[in-house]
Amino acid sequence: MSPEILTVAMFATLILAITLGHPLAYTLAAVATLFGLIDNGWDVAGLFDMFANNTWGLMNNYVLVAIPLFILMAQLLDRSKVADELFETLYVVLGGLKGGLGLAVVVVCTVFAATTGIIGASVVAMGLLATPALMKKGYQKEMSAGIICAAGTLGILIPPSIMMVVYGGLTGLKETSVGNLFAGAIFPGLLLAGLYFAYILVRCTINPQLGPPISKEEASKWNAMQKMVLTLKSLIPPMALILAVMGTILAGVATPTEAAALGAFGALILAIFNRKFNWEVMRDSARATLSTTAMVMMLFIGGKFFSTVFLSMGGGDVVADVLVGSGMNRWAVLIIMMAIVFLMGMFIDWAAILLVTVPIFMPIAMELEFDPLWFSILLCVNLQTSFLTPPFGYALFYFKGVAPEGYTMGHIYKGIMPFVLLQIAGLAILAFFPGLITWLPSVFFGG
Using CA atoms, how far apart are residues 447 and 20, in angstroms rounded to an integer?
47
Q: What burial letters (b/e) apply to 115-140, b meaning 16+ CB within 10 Å? A: bbbbbbbbbbbbbbbbbebbbebebb
What Cα–Cα distance (Å) separates residue 364 from each residue in 2, 33, 321, 376? 21, 26, 9, 12
Amino acid at 350: W
pLDDT at 388: 87
Does 77 score more than 90 pLDDT? no
pLDDT in tens, 105-164: 898 888 888 877 666 667 877 787 788 888 888 888 899 999 999 998 888 888 888 888
pLDDT at 311: 82
pLDDT in tens, 404-420: 787 888 888 899 999 99
Amino acid at 141: K
Nearest to 200 by CA among 186, 189, 212: 212
Mean pLDDT of 259-268: 88
Higher pLDDT, 397 or 223: 397
138: left (phi over 0), alpha (psi -120 to 50) or beta: left
pLDDT at 335: 93
Does 61 score more than 60 pLDDT? yes
- Give 221's pLDDT tier (boundaries 50, 70, 90): low
pTM: 0.85
Terminal CA-to-CA distance of the chain, rounded, Å? Answer: 45
Mean pLDDT of 211-223: 72
Amino acid at 311: L
Domains of the chain by residue range:
3-445
pLDDT at 192: 95
pLDDT in tens, 136-147: 888 888 999 999
Counted residue by residue, the chain has a size of: 447
What single string gives the DSSP state of each residue in 51-93? Answer: HHHHHHHHHT-GGGGHHHHHHHHHHHHHHHTHHHHHHHHHHHH
User: Residue 238, preceding bond cis, omega within 30 degrees?
Assistant: no
Nearest to 111 by CA among 125, 99, 100: 125
Mean pLDDT of 190-204: 94
